[in-house]
Structure 1
């Protein structure tokens, strides 16, 4: 666990959220990918590169990580609104959202509701195009893996220290074992029932967006709902696979600091 980090729990009508928290300003909100990863671990290399006076809020989604099972049917939008309430109750003077993968969909639902939001840093956020009409170019097909779980496991072993990698993978396995098939199905249904794929909602122009992506996806993000008309918005090509925060944590931490 990063320095001064605490594990906290918040009960809601949808279920109980677990989140890693450190007080400070600005408050960096980390939004995770889908799966069994603990959010703090997924972003741990970036968190360690941030100044220790920066606040951190890193929640696990319902039916995943260290959070609880959902108590009723819900959508990503429903869950995002509960997370906004927790964030706003922290009364941070400045907030920066850092979202990876499906975390971008959560962010779309959250950004215009978070108080004192200063910037949005998106690491290969999930686009409507990827959901509804994935590009057919060969370069996209070449980035698919026959055994994605083994590929990710190997990358964790490669990019984390031995003890960090063992802890990361063991925690991931334990997280997965906490939930039954019904919980896994509810997590999938939350995405399927959400209106993100068929809405026209875009990120507001009121704050800068920094999109960090592998070079081959730049055009996809230029035409995406994440790219706005703020003068400071930009796309930064970086990385060789989807979990760019594992490869370039210093660079991502510096981008986050620059956005504060």
Structure 2
């Protein structure tokens, strides 16, 4: 894996685990909900980036190697403010966001609030307000219903993710990915049954009012059956570089569509030369 400096950065939410490599512009990675550490989750992209590009990965509370903490009274604004504190801790002037799933909501707010120049947004099936309000219901898409029918138990879902990651990761990347997953899960097993303990922050209607800035190019990767959802979503604008790319047959597109993501990242990072 690329040589990254590991650091717990103090924020208003407490210490947050990051991996960082100096460089400007900086490619910032955010994962969705889950136990994976972000650096491990995006390893097959990170390992192929040029040495001149800065890298920053951030583990949300109760994910990866960030500390365990009760998120019962934590909202999206708190998480965004913590990320902005991390941005200020590291000395880059411009950045490109590459985010998966529910990390998309935080990304939209970061773009609007950060004083640093955003070169672009790459969303890997970022969660839309539409599907979140629907409770991620399988009724929205027959394809989702069929997938969930095959993955009824926690063991089914775990084996599915292991097989999927094994088919796209190197042996070393695969071991590191699941080492971090197991470490996170073991720690949460001790607390998640406690009364009033919440693993994830809550989202409200106010969080869904932010849309991608018209000044920021946005590239969204999605499975083809979600095309209409994204064309009408908060993630696409009329910027000349904005594009919806339909590909893949699963939600973890950053595991399988590495080369295409790297190609688009290179194009957006070149916007740095125009600043």
| TM-score, normalization by structure 2 | 0.86
Distance, in Å, in 1 between the alignment partners of 2:40 and 2:158 is 17
2:100 and 2:197 mapped to 1: Cα distance? 22
CA distance in 2, matches of 1:131, 1:137: 14
Task: Verify the 8 A CA contact 2:70 2:199 in the aligned structure 1.
Answer: no
CA RMSD of aligned residues (A): 2.0
Secondary structure of the structure 1 residue equivalent to 2:119: strand
Stretch moving more, 118-127 or 222-231? 222-231
Pick from 224, 234, 243: which aligns with 2:233?
A: 224
CA distance in 2, matches of 1:201, 1:68: 29
Q: Which moved more, 1:164-173 or 1:42-51?
A: 164-173
How far residue 195 of structure 1 moved from its aligned partner, in angstroms, is: 2.3
Q: CA deviation at 1:226?
A: 0.9
Q: Secondary structure at the match of 1:10?
A: strand
Q: Is the 8 A contact 1:21 1:56 kept in 2?
A: yes
Instruction: List runs of 5+ in structure 2 lacking aligned partners.
Output: 270-275
Question: What SS is found at the alignment partner of 1:25?
Answer: coil
Alignment-derived partner of residue 106 in structure 2: 106
Structure 1, residues 54-73: CA drift from partner, whole Å, max 9, x if none?
10110100122111133773
TM alignment of 1:168-183, pairs within 5 A? 168-179=177-188, 180-181=191-192, 182=194
C-alpha spacing 1:184/1:69, structure 2 compared with 1 (3 Å): farther
State the 1:143 CA deviation.
3.4
Partner of 1:39: 38
| CA distance 1:70–1:196, change in 2 (3 Å) | farther
Contact 2:11-2:86 within 8 A present in 1 as well: no
What is the alpha-carbon distance in structure 1 between the residues aligned to residue 100 and residue 84 of structure 2? 17
8 Å Cα contact 2:62/2:184 also seen in 1: no
Corresponding residue number in structure 2 for 1:233: 242
Residue in 2 that maps onto 1:123: 124
Instruction: Give the one of 141, 144, 163 matched to 1:140.
Output: 144
Paired with 1:197 and 1:128, the residues of 2 have a C-alpha distance of: 11
Number of residue pairs aligned between Structure 1 and Structure 2:
256
Farther off after superposition, 198-207 or 242-251: 198-207
Structure 1 segments unaligned to the other structure (5+ residues): none
| 8 A contact 1:31–1:98 mirrored in 2 | yes
Alpha carbons of structure 1 residues 176 and 196: separation in structure 2 relative to 1, 3 Å: farther
Q: Which moved more, 1:166-175 or 1:118-127?
A: 166-175
Deviation string 1:113-171 (CA, Å, 9 cap, x unpaired) is 22111101100001111111346232332333333222111112222223332232122
Partner of 2:18: 19
CA distance in 2, matches of 1:206, 1:238: 26
Q: Does 1:186 align with 2:198?
A: yes
**What aligned pairs does 1:245-260 form with structure 2 within 5 A after superposition?**
245-260=254-269
Q: Helix, strand or coil: the match of 2:67?
A: coil
Taking the aligned partners of 1:48 and 1:88, their CA distance within structure 2 comes to 25
**Partner of 1:49: helix, strand, or coil?**
coil
TM-score, normalised via structure 1 length: 0.91
